[in-house]
């Protein structure tokens, strides 16, 4: 692989910002359509907890919520109770993978467990440790690994080194899906975001993901547009479809609809399935459930109407 062409890439910054404004100014879908789109959004969520105080019991609760994301009576009212609506995955720290696998097995469902790895969120640990972390998470039953790249390689233009590192992540994943977090808020420019996206896809990532959720700037539309264009270019060049996952700061039902329509417009309907689109979120599901409650009952839910599980 010759990566010399990477350094020649330039992204037209003002054009990207104009396109992002256009998307944000749109009115969202209404009424029945909105309820349908919100249920669709649920099926794209990687229901996530990445806190220092995660315990096996809150992982258990999270897994239960992943299997039953929307209250049964609300789904019945929409005639969607028998459609098997669950979130796309449960995403946790490596040390909690066993808990999640166990809880999902007990709940009798096969929702995948995703684990962050490679020195999340900073990626500043030794390569050897980062690779071992992937292998251990896979051994514990994670079928998707959300890795972080070493941002310094992007900031100093070491594209070969970045490619080689992600290749090694890919190998350590074995059969598991590789989702590569670019931490776009720390890459310095939209041009770097495009280059890092390309390298991540060339190196064998199944998904590229905007952020860890721990940076000061997380998923934004300008960054997403650049990543989606990179996915499209990569598809045209290779015929391979790579998935997209925005994460960090996506909290409202309205936001989730904007992300769905962005992907639909930039990549088309074929990308609107869990194999190619995920939303990384922890509090988003509660807001979607609130909106669906409102759609069904005509009033807003009190906090205790929609508990976490």
Active-site positions read: 209, 245
CA–CA separation, 139 and 193 (whole Å):
31
CA–CA separation, 284 and 20 (whole Å):
21
The residue with tokens 């904007």 is: 258
Task: Please tell me whether residue 88 adopts helix, strand or coil conformation.
Answer: coil
CA–CA separation, 54 and 263 (whole Å):
32
Residue 215 has, within 13 A of its CA and on its CB side, a CA count of 21
Q: How many CB atoms lie within 10 A of CB 37?
A: 19
CA–CA separation, 159 and 73 (whole Å):
52
Residue 223 has, within 13 A of its CA and on its CB side, a CA count of 26
DSSP 8-state code for residue 305: G
Q: Is the peptide bond before 121 cis (omega within 30 degrees of 0)?
A: yes
CA–CA separation, 305 and 307 (whole Å):
6
**264: burial class by Cβ within 10 Å (0-12, 13-18, 19+)?**
middle
CA–CA separation, 295 and 290 (whole Å):
9
CA–CA separation, 39 and 42 (whole Å):
5
> Which segments of the chain are extended strands (E)?
45-48, 89-92, 113-117, 144-148, 177-181, 207-209, 243-245, 279-281
């Amino acid at each position: 692989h010759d990566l010399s062409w990477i350094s020649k890439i330039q992204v037209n910054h003002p054009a990207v910002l104009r396109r992002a404004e256009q998307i944000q100014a749109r009115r969202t879908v209404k009424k029945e359509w909105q309820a349908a789109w919100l249920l669709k959004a649920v099926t794209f969520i990687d229901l996530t907890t990445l806190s220092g105080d995660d315990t096996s019991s809150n992982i258990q609760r999270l897994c239960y919520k992943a299997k039953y994301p929307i209250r049964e009576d609300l789904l019945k009212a929409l005639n969607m109770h028998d459609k098997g609506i669950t979130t796309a995955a449960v995403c946790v720290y490596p040390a909690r993978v066993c808990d999640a696998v166990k809880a999902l097995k007990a709940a009798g469902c096969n929702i995948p467990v995703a684990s962050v790895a490679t020195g999340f969120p900073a990626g500043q640990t030794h390569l050897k440790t980062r690779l071992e972390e992937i292998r251990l998470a896979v051994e514990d039953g994670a079928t998707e690994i959300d890795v972080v790249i070493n941002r310094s390689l992007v900031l100093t233009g070491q594209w070969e080194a970045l490619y080689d590192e992600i290749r090694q992540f890919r190998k350590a994943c074995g059969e598991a899906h590789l989702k590569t977090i670019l931490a776009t808020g720390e890459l310095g420019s939209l041009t770097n975001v495009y280059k890092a996206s390309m390298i991540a896809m060339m190196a064998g990532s199944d998904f590229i993901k905007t952020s860890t959720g721990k940076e000061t700037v997380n998923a934004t539309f300008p960054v997403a547009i650049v990543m989606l264009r990179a996915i499209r270019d990569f598809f045209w060049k290779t015929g391979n479809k790579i998935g997209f996952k925005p994460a960090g700061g996506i909290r409202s039902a309205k936001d989730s609809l904007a992300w769905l329509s962005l992907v639909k417009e930039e990549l088309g309907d074929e990308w609107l399935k869990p194999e190619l689109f995920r939303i990384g979120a922890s509090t988003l599901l509660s807001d979607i459930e609130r909106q669906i409650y409102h759609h069904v009952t005509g009033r807003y839910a009190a906090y205790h109407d929609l508990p976490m599980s």
